[in-house]
C-alpha cells in the first residue's frame, strides 16, 4: 500500500479539515508541508500534525539541528498518531547554479549529504532527496534512513520544473524506499492507467 500525499497547495485550499478527511479514508497520510521556522513554532506544528493523523511529515533540514530536535521531541510526546519526520535536503527544482545563488555551498550532491547528516543526527528518521542523490546517501548513511524521493518521471515524461530526475525503476534500483509521483499521474488524461503503468514498470 502507498500513501496519500497532502502538499502545501491542497493544505492551503482545504485546510486541516480536508486533511483529516483524507486520513479518515484509512490510507496513510503523507503531510508534505516542508516546515521551516524557529524550533518552538515547528514543534507546535508537529503536535498539530499529529492530531491530523499524519504518518509522515516533512520539514526542511536547512532549519537546523535545534529545529529538527525540537520537532522530534514534539513527535515523541504527541498524543495523536506519531508521524515519522522526513527532512527535506535540497529541493529537486534546484541545480548547482541555484545553490550558488542562494549561498548554499557545493554541488547538489555535497549539499544534500551535508544537510542529510545534520538532519539524521538531530533526530530526523527519513530524508527527502532527488533520485540522483539516493546512492550517495545510501553509501554514506547505510540502510537506516527512510529515503523518500520526488523528482521521479516515467521515461519520456517532461521534467517540468524538476531538474534532478530519474525514472521510477532507476530510483528504486538506487535505493529509494518511497517514490513521490504527482504530475505524471494527476495530469494524465487517464490517471488510473498512468499509475498502473508506473506500477507495472516497477514490477517488471
Give the contacts of 41 (CB within 8 A, at least 6 positions apart): none
Please indicate whether residue 5 is annotated as part of the active site.
no
DSSP 7-76: EHHHHHHHHHHHHHHHHHTTSPEEEEEEE-S-HHHHHHHHHHHHHTTEEEEEEEGGG-HHHHHHHHHHHH
Are the CB atoms for 43 and 35 separated by under 8 Å? no
Q: SS3 of 149, please?
A: strand
Select which of 14, 34, 182, 197 is catalytic. 34
DSSP character for 166? Answer: B
Q: Which residues are known catalytic residues?
A: 34
Amino acid at each position: 500500500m502507498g500513501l496519500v500525499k497532502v502538499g502545501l497547495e491542497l493544505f492551503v485550499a482545504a485546510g486541516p479539515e480536508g486533511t483529516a478527511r483524507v486520513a479518515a479514508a484509512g490510507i496513510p497520510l503523507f503531510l508534505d508541508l516542508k516546515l521551516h521556522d524557529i524550533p518552538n513554532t515547528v514543534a507546535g506544528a508537529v503536535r498539530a500534525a499529529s492530531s491530523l493523523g499524519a504518518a509522515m511529515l516533512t520539514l526542511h533540514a536547512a532549519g537546523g539541528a535545534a529545529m529538527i530536535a525540537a520537532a522530534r521531541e514534539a513527535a515523541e510526546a504527541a498524543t495523536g498518531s506519531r508521524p515519522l519526520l522526513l527532512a527535506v535536503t535540497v529541493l529537486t527544482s534546484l541545480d548547482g547554479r541555484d545553490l550558488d545563488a542562494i549561498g548554499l555551498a557545493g554541488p547538489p550532491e555535497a549539499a544534500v549529504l551535508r544537510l542529510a547528516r545534520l538532519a539524521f543526527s538531530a533526530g530526523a528518521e527519513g530524508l527527502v532527496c532527488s533520485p540522483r542523490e539516493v546512492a550517495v546517501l545510501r553509501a554514506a548513511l547505510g540502510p537506516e534512513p527512510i529515503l523518500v524521493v520526488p523528482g521521479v518521471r516515467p521515461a519520456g515524461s517532461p521534467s517540468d520544473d524538476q531538474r534532478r530526475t530519474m525514472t521510477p525503476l532507476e530510483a528504486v534500483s538506487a535505493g529509494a524506499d518511497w517514490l513521490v509521483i504527482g504530475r505524471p499521474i494527476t495530469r494524465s488524461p487517464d490517471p488510473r492507467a498512468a499509475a498502473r503503468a508506473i506500477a507495472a514498470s516497477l514490477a517488471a
